[in-house]
Structure 1
């Protein structure tokens, strides 16, 4: 299987997981809201291709794709988001607070930008303990305006910590266009203020993302300090489940669907000589994997109420 074919398959896993999750939400099996990364799969897939098992990843509340890429059990993820006694967090995290220490996924955070100081702490531990480990944190474009993000970036730069900040710039800070919030819309330019190398890449191409990540991760592993990767993309769904997206111009989502990661990867594979039937077979295999995981999740029991005080620190 070629590099692009494998990246295509991994993006399909995330896409089908989230599409199925959206259906499960409609059936009333998911408590609370969910934030899907449909349309942004190339970013976690491209970056994660360069990570090692001992590395750390922190994400936003739109982090299902990152958890999957770190190797979290699919049935466990479905079960966790459905509020069941899963192997991931026992039904305590749901969608916006997923974490899985067993695979180095420090977790999501529903507070905008709050994952960066947490990832900074992980990067500090990587630096002090040695071993060449790195800490990667994914944030949205709106998080670049948070004060604690600026403080964390400055500290990472001053201490030359192995931190890689991935800005998933989907053009909207929740429901407001990033152009209406900042004067410098190329967010990678902000790296210069901290002395942090930064670049803007096509976030819909997993190969391009992987190339940028390879440079940043190698820099971090070898003591070169932090990096910022701004990955330009678009989400194909609302900010959260139930978001009607009235704020988006007519035709914008339809246009985005023409250049989204899976469409582009499939087209590139066909152009390279791959047979459509082979790609359809890959998709069918992914569908079976997702359906098996969901079926297993539905067999998980609800959390035992008598354990509510476990894993609580006071």
Structure 2
């Protein structure tokens, strides 16, 4: 069986983090479309595969899945164009929709993404997300330890996050705990940071299983230091995840031990970052091979945007937001 993967967008992210892994699979054939066709041709020359001069030609090739790897500012329009051609499956980079960039997600982005997934579902087009932070070594290990040591449910969560990791942090919160159902947010009065400049935000929230927490988003974290710090307090333990596979701390309430897990020091966080894409992509390909649901479904991308939309609404209206009542997923 040969799996046909179409790639829409052959920019730097696609070339660095997607195509090498896909091209290395013996049972995968690649087809490319890029609005600047010469870029797609250069990728095909380096990695192999076919270049198509239109989305229609790409879909006529009958790909098993189409990876939407354009800039987030362009993702909605190209995805709508693709759905008009009835693809079998769509696999999205994150965030699902962000017209003004991932550091400035709006409520309109959530509404547009919800309509996009509704349309896909109506056409029986399966959707999936990358959310590769789930596939870093430390989150994988954390999941194992939570199950093995019977830590119980999450009761508290705190997060300090650079906007470069923001959508991933929200997804990890959902992954380790459960979806946020209510939140209240504030933002700084000034725009901060030079890279991904934006207002800082702080959100206090409650999840469906009554865990409470706070999440701070900012561009003011120095890239030399951790860009992501998440702490999950369970009934019988605590886990602190730091950066892109930085040292992870475990406080085991059963044994009373304080443990630290670290990756080998000969690997950088950027090595781990690149590897996480490969693990996420391979997990998705395995789901195609075996006819299983995707490991990260498209709704995960919508749930992440729902939280961002609630933050924007809370800031604008200066009150708490009930996500299900005011910003329903409707899926």
Q: What is the TM-score with the length of structure 2 in the denominator?
A: 0.29
Question: In proportion to residue count, which structure has more strand?
Answer: 2
* Structure label with greater radius of gyration: 2
Q: What is the TM-score with the length of structure 1 in the denominator?
A: 0.30
Question: In proportion to residue count, which structure has more helix?
Answer: 1
